[in-house]
Amino acid sequence: MGKLVLASASPRREELLKQLKLQFTIVPSRIDESQFNGLKPVDMVEKLAFAKAESVSELVEEAIIIAADTVIVAQDRVLNKPEDAEDAKNMLSALSGKEHQVITGVAVMNSETDEYLVEHNITSVFMEEISEEEIDKYLETGEPMDKAGAYAIQGFGSLFVREIKGSYYSVVGLPLNQLSKMLKKFNYGIL
C-alpha cells in the first residue's frame, strides 16, 4: 500500500482527512478547470476530479491519490465560487428559500498501476429565506468568497440551511462514507 495524497488545496478537504487521523501529503493539481465548463454538472465534477487525480499521479510515485470537485446546482444553473461580492450576493439571493443540489465528484487513483475509480454524490440542501441584511452581514465575514454557491455549511452558512437530504460531508467537499468504500477497493482501509 502506497502513501496517501490529497490532490487539493482545499482546507476543508484537508481538515476532513485529518479528522480521520489519516497520514497524507497534499499535492494540489494545477489543471485549467475552465476547460470543463459547459458540461452537465455530474460529468463536470467527475471529469474534473479524474483530471486532478491524473495530473497529480504524474508527480508522485506509489501513491493512492484522492481528488474531488464540488459544484452547486440551483434552478438548472451551476454556481461555482463567486467572482466578487456582487456575484456572491446574487448567488445567495438565488438560493434563498429554495432547494438546490450539491454535486461532488470523487476520484481515487493508484499512481503506480493507473487504476482508478470515479464516482459522484448528490445531496439536496434546503435553504431558509435569507434577508438582504443577512446576506450583507454574511458577506462581511468573508466566508462566501471561496465557496461554491457562496456559502459554507460548516461555518456561518449553516445558519441558513434548514435541512439536507444526503451527505453532509459531500456538501463540505468530500463524501467520507463514499470515499471510504472507494479506498477499500484499493486495499486502503481507514479503520
Position 132 in a domain: yes
Antiparallel, parallel or unpaired: β 3-6 and 24-26: parallel
Q: Rounded to whole angstroms, how far apart are CA atoms 35 and 186? A: 29
pTM of the full structure? 0.93
Looking at residue 84, which CATH number applies to its domain? 3.90.950.10
Contact criterion met (CB below 8 Å) for 111 and 63: yes
Does position 1 have pLDDT exceeding 60, yes or no? Answer: no
Position 191 in a domain: no
Assign 24 to helix, strand or coil.
strand
Residue 189: per-residue pLDDT: 87
Per-residue pLDDT tens for 11-44? 999 999 999 999 999 999 989 888 898 899 999 9
Does position 191 have pLDDT exceeding 90, yes or no? Answer: no
Mean residue pLDDT of the chain comes to 95
> Does the annotation mark 84 as catalytic?
no
Number of domains in the chain: 1
Per-residue pLDDT tens for 80-122? 889 999 999 999 999 999 999 999 999 999 999 999 999 999 9
Q: Which of 32, 43, 69, 136 is catalytic?
A: 69
Position 81 in a domain: yes
Provide mean pLDDT across the span 124-146: 97
Provide mean pLDDT across the span 142-153: 94
Position 189 in a domain: no
Record the cell numbers describing residue 191, joined without a space.
Answer: 479503520
